[in-house]
Chain A
Amino acid sequence: MGETIQVRDGRELIIRSAIPGDGQRVYDFMYALGDSTDRLLTHPGDMRTVEQYESSITQIAQGGFYSLCAIDPETDAIVGNAAFYPGSRVKIAHAAGMVLGVLPQWQGCGLGVWLLNRSIEDMRKNPKILRLDLLVMDGNDHAKKMYERVGFKVEGHREKAVRQPSGELCGEYMMGMWIGNGNTTNE
């Protein structure tokens, strides 16, 4: 199941959508990711439960969630993920919020960009989704540049929106991209 890809350094990964039963794998991935960086909301002191991850995964079939996983065939562990959450209200159902992460030992080999491009491609095939958005914390310049390169534009900056466990306050950039027809300005 899934597709095998080779990353720049020659290692192989399996790419597939999250499936029921992946809850624990996603939890382990998010735990390791949150432990490796403070540039995302999840951290070991504030985890969603395995059941919550499992419940998100069950919404994939109805189009309520999207989750693309990169899996290390040797360990069967998730090492990278791109997820989209479509708006849950009628008026914002055309917009999907994105979350992307790659574990440190798999960074620098093109995996992040690959997941980003493939997941955006999938969103473009979804006729209901016309807008993508995401948040990037201050200091995560590498991610911000990557998002800009694929077409996201900075739409604003939320001042002191995040408080790190250390007490440090940090802002986050709001980024958006229109993937429907027409340009991004109102007629």
Chain B
Amino acid sequence: MNEAITLRDGRIVQVRHSRQGDAERVHAYICALGRSTDMILTCDGDFPSIERVQSHIDLIADGRFYSLVAIEPDTDRVVGNASFRFAERKKLAHVADLGMGVLESHQRTGLGTLLLNQAIEDMRGHADIQRLELTVLCSNTHAHMVYKRAGFVEEGVKRRSLRQPDGRYEDEIIMGMWIGDEVR
């Protein structure tokens, strides 16, 4: 996938898979996202290093990581992403864990839903993956609704499982979706 997409507000973004050479751009995006919202796990003081981002990109070629990015053509900045991590344990090899985000400048344009749907579609085409899961803060009602609409089902609520830098505790919702054929 490497397509120019026109968003609801008329702006254009390029949506494609992450590739070698993206590490700095993805790193800058993660830092910008972590500074703009407290709805994700990453926060100021706990940003991954560029080397860590690179190590994830290195896993893509072997099929051990999946990452879709939306890039603003004028600035070459990443403005949104959807990624799936694949478990290392054999008994969990059919499970992929979603992480995604959209920068404030590109929210409410349909980009999040577009990235999510494309990423899910790609997982449906993946031979080993049958279950998708994610964690979302209870307070992130918008994201919760987007995931529900895409087919994720609420499977549980972890009480006070996340502590914000200001000391507030928040509950997290665990969501899952079966995309395999088996019905057992």
Contacts and interface: CB of A to CB of B under 8 A. Distances in A.
* B is bound to A: yes
A155 B157 contact: yes
Interface in A142-187: 155-165, 168-169, 174, 176, 178, 184-186
Given A164-B91, A186-B171, A176 B159 contact: yes
Contact of A176 (B89, B154, B161, B184): B161
A177 B85 CA distance: 27
Range for the number of chain B residues in contact with chain A: 35 or more
Interface residues of A, number: 34
A90 B45 contact: yes
A89 interface: yes
Max chain B Cβ within 10 angstroms of own Cβ: one of A41, A155, A157: A155
Contacts of B160: 130-131, 178, 184, 186
A16 interface: no
A131 B159 CA distance: 9
Interface string B107-134: 0000000000000000000000011010
Contacts of A89: 41-42, 46
A141 B174 CA distance: 22
Interface in B122-151: 130-131, 133
Interface of A: 41-43, 45-46, 89-95, 130-131, 133, 155-165, 168-169, 174, 176, 178, 184-186
Interface of B: 41-43, 45-46, 89-95, 130-131, 133, 153-165, 169-171, 174, 176, 178, 182, 184
